[in-house]
Amino acid sequence: MYTQGLDLVPKGAEAQRPKDAEEVRLEEEFQKKIDAEIRIEPDDWMPEGYRRTLIRQISQHAHSEIVGMLPEGNWVTRAPTLRRKAILLAKIQDEAGHGLYLYSACETLGVSREELIEQLLSGKAKYSSIFNYPTLTWADVGIIGWLVDGAAIMNQVPLQRCSYGPYARAMIRICREESFHQRQGYEIVMAMAQGTPEQRRMVQDALNRWWWPVLMMFGPPDKDSWHTAQSMKWKIKRFTNDELRQRFVDAVVPQAERLGLKIPDPHLKWNPERGHYDFGEVPWDEFWRVVRGDGPCNRQRLEQRRRAWEEGRWVREAALTYAEKRRRRREAARAA
């Protein structure tokens, strides 16, 4: 679904070792390639910081896709029609696929799949704060598609031009598939907004609950985002968190108005001078609380992931045993 690029390491925490002349030369050459829009590929020389930043960002992104299946999975058995159920299943399968594309891309940086899974299950790795909120009604499923996936797209479109080749290529695939997610969500919201008064109340309530957490998806404000400048210089990021947040608000407000829904922000107002909507302060205290592990569903999500991993153990073992049996059978046939 998307990467928040959570910058939890404070400035200066990474010790500065003096660089030798060769390293300085390599770094200059590297930056020249980046400036010339030449993509970096897995075996190319890259600064350690670039590698570490990418591993952190891509793995957080992959984990978000995987954990993102959980709030939606909650509604598979309760989708209102067979069509909606089939769509929801396809969407959840896409999220798993996106996680796997991203794990693949991350492994090209020299980290193993086991390490990545272990980091998620142990709680060491972060994933997008948005998946720590519950999906209370069917309207939430619509709002997730429309707004959560909409915010993800806003973030991911520029990542298709990320300087690291495998990540950019994974993003191209993901963006192509994500558009269906957003449209099916808006369709659900539209159906409810045009439905009975009870349905309209449900969908407005869902919008009220999701609005601020969705704006948090773009990450902390630029003034508190430690790695932004370096990531922009390396062209991992193309726009700052605040720029993307503003674009998203500008895009979504007319979509809400079209359905007669009200964005729950008294400060939201078109500013003709800026050519943008002004909006209120995101509740950042809540954001940091959720990121640090105290959101409404953090513990439940991790617990569910761990259980899925444990309960899937026999499947992984059976697959291995089957592969071994097949290999032996083939050898026997060859010997005969």
Partner 1 sequence: MKGWPLYEVFIRPRNGIAHRHVGSVHAPDPEMALELARDLYCRRGEGASIWVVPASAITASRPEDRDAFFEPLEKEYRHPSHYDIPPDVKNM
Write out the residues near partner 1 by the rule CB under 8 A. 41, 43-45, 90, 93-94, 97, 100-101, 104-105, 107, 113-114, 117, 169-170, 173, 177, 316, 319-320, 322-323, 326-327
Q: Which is nearer to partner 1, 100 or 191 (CB)?
A: 100
Nearer to partner 1, 179 or 300 (CB): 179
- The nearer residue to partner 1, 97 or 158, going by C-beta atoms, is 97
* Residue 85 or 200 having the CB closest to partner 1: 85
List, as one string, the DSSP characters of 168-232: HHHHHHHHHHHHHHHHHHHHHHHHHHTS-HHHHHHHHHHHHHHHHHHHHTT-S-GGG-TTHHHHH
Task: Give yes or no for a contact between 75 and 135, defined as CB atoms under 8 angstroms apart.
Answer: yes
Q: Give the separation between CA 332 and CA 320, rounded to whole angstroms.
A: 18
- The nearest distance, CB 180 to partner 1, in angstroms, is 9
| Shortest Å distance, C-beta 104 to partner 1 | 5
Give min distance, CB of 108 to partner 1, in A.
8
8 A C-beta contact, residue 119 and residue 59 = yes
From residue 252, give the alpha-carbon distance in Å to each of 89, 145, 248.
Answer: 26, 13, 6
Using the structure block, give the residue that is written with the tokens 């939430």.
140
Residue 170 Cβ vs partner 1, minimum distance, rounded to whole Å: 7
CA 59, CA 119: separation in Å to the nearest integer? 9
The nearest distance, CB 43 to partner 1, in angstroms, is 5
Q: Which is nearer to partner 1, 44 or 257 (CB)?
A: 44
